[in-house]
A and B are shown apart, each in its own frame.
Chain A
């Protein structure tokens, strides 16, 4: 019975239909991105005349990139975004790891309460406090500074970081820490010992912390809109607003803004997706 043509047809369809659907959806996901990347390397005639063609030797042009590099202060934007993202990331991971360690390791009074207090921020968007945040930043003279942005992003990222890291730290074997304690290690030394053991988790959380910070528009727009402190996301938003009619410049600035995140994503996608599914695979 298992070798009847009907059964084999079913088997074949069962295997190929999922692949077909996934392929179609992948095209839908990739198509807009590819269109932008591809056309950014073409002359204006070709962008409009043959948008679906790859650039050829006749249509190839870097004129958009020339405009962008001359007119926009992209290097400033990149530097600002990098400083903000990197500093906020390091602070979040270190401060978050410390708090996660305390919550996971010690059975002190009020532990559950502190954990609950810190995890409130997972569900409530920090943007709802914008009126209060702007007033605070004005009084601290941190408007139009990268420091202001960094502090907000650390506060925003801590709840999730602490929540996830404390779960991982609970899994570190007790014997290891107790042995170190008997040898007279201080609690700070033990924290330093545990940190490398949860490195994979820190890596994954790091990427998930980094992407929303790099991509954020709201806080750069509200707290640091000056030309000196604009981030890539805000810079692109403002630059594109002014250059709507210069298609070469628009396409190439979009490409320039996409590339860094795509590169980071392609390098780390395995760890990133792996970390979400890690709990599930046994």
Chain B
């Protein structure tokens, strides 16, 4: 009875509830995104006229000497950036989460402190670390000397070999709070009954963690990895703040985000090109999509989610 009434005409109040969100989201996010993807198949003339050019922009991006070296380097740098986060940020996040999850009141204090850098703007963090690492101020050098590692210090941000990893580690320092809090939420969700028996049998905390708890939080490991992957393509702010749009020294810190910005808006000598910019964005879109799909089909399907 109710069914026939609901199906005959779409209830007006549902439309009223949904309309503002669907409209705003479509108009300012989905349609511009689709339009950007579409523009990557067009060429723009000096009179601002668009003409269809098929896959020309993509061929240019992969082979033209004005674009290809930059594109491949930015892509490689993005993967280095991602690898540093996977190898440093997420393991530290897991370690901190495991220590926090052990309980106790003082740990709430640690939780608040450890998450603090995450809420600050990337721009602020970028400048803060530029000052800390500045040899002129000598704070980082002073700290390293105090623990006997003074000789290690160098102008890390200025050298092409170390700049990218240094910037990536600064990003790790800022965002370690995110994997930490997600792992923490997963760990405290594990019921005590599951670990009690192992405790009674005399298993060490180390064994309990790796044999019982870690397998239970594997779904969170997957989510954290995907978030890390997608987040990398948003890393523009930090590099732009610390190294400018040219991602110096000598493009050593150039990632897809800065490449996109430069291609779209131009730089000192080169004019901006919206359709090539759209092509870079479309490549980022494809890479993100591939990552998310791989996660959904290869990881999320195989990893068992336990009902706890």
- Residue of B with least CB distance to A265: B119
Chain A neighbourhood of B10, CB < 8 A: 108-109
Pairwise interchain contact B121-A99, C-beta atoms closer than 8 A: no
* Per-residue interface assignment for chain B, residues 248 to 285, with 1 indicating a CB less than 8 Å from any chain A CB and 0 otherwise: 00000000010010001100000000100110011011
Q: How far, in whole Å, are A26 and B108 apart by their CA atoms in the complex?
A: 12
Contact of A254 among B17, B117, B128 (CB under 8 A): B128
Contact of B281 among A29, A95, A131 (CB under 8 A): A131
Task: Tell me if B240 counts as interface (CB < 8 A to partner A).
Answer: yes
Pairwise interchain contact A132-B24, C-beta atoms closer than 8 A: no
Pairwise interchain contact A158-B33, C-beta atoms closer than 8 A: no
Q: How far, in whole Å, are A282 and B205 apart by their CA atoms in the complex?
A: 23
Q: How far, in whole Å, are A222 and B230 apart by their CA atoms in the complex?
A: 21
- Residue of B with least CB distance to A211: B119
Contact of B28 among A48, A117, A155, A187 (CB under 8 A): A155
| With A22-B100, A217-B123 as contacts: A129 and B281 at CB distance below 8 Å | yes
Contact of A18 among B99, B173, B182, B191 (CB under 8 A): B99
Pick out which of these stretches binds chain A: B68-76, B79-87, B132-140, B152-160.
B132-140
Task: Tell me if A106 counts as interface (CB < 8 A to partner B).
Answer: yes
* Per-residue interface assignment for chain B, residues 80 to 123, with 1 indicating a CB less than 8 Å from any chain A CB and 0 otherwise: 00000000000010011001101000111011111111011111
Pairwise interchain contact A123-B17, C-beta atoms closer than 8 A: no
- Residue of B with least CB distance to A23: B110
Least CB distance from B63 to A in Å reads 22
Q: How far, in whole Å, are A75 and B241 apart by their CA atoms in the complex?
A: 22
* Per-residue interface assignment for chain B, residues 13 to 38, with 1 indicating a CB less than 8 Å from any chain A CB and 0 otherwise: 11011101110110111111111100
Interface centre among A52, A134, A237 (most CB of B within 10 A): A237
Q: How far, in whole Å, are A195 and B95 apart by their CA atoms in the complex?
A: 38
Chain A neighbourhood of B128, CB < 8 A: 32-33, 35-36, 254
Task: Tell me if B131 counts as interface (CB < 8 A to partner A).
Answer: yes
Chain A neighbourhood of B274, CB < 8 A: 131, 134-135
Identify 9 residue pairs between A and B in the complex whose beta-carbon atoms are under 8 Å apart, listed by A's number.
Answer: A25-B114, A32-B129, A102-B18, A114-B18, A131-B36, A132-B34, A154-B24, A216-B237, A217-B237
Give 9 closest A-B pairs by Cβ, nearest first: A132-B32, A280-B189, A129-B33, A132-B35, A99-B21, A215-B121, A102-B17, A155-B28, A129-B32
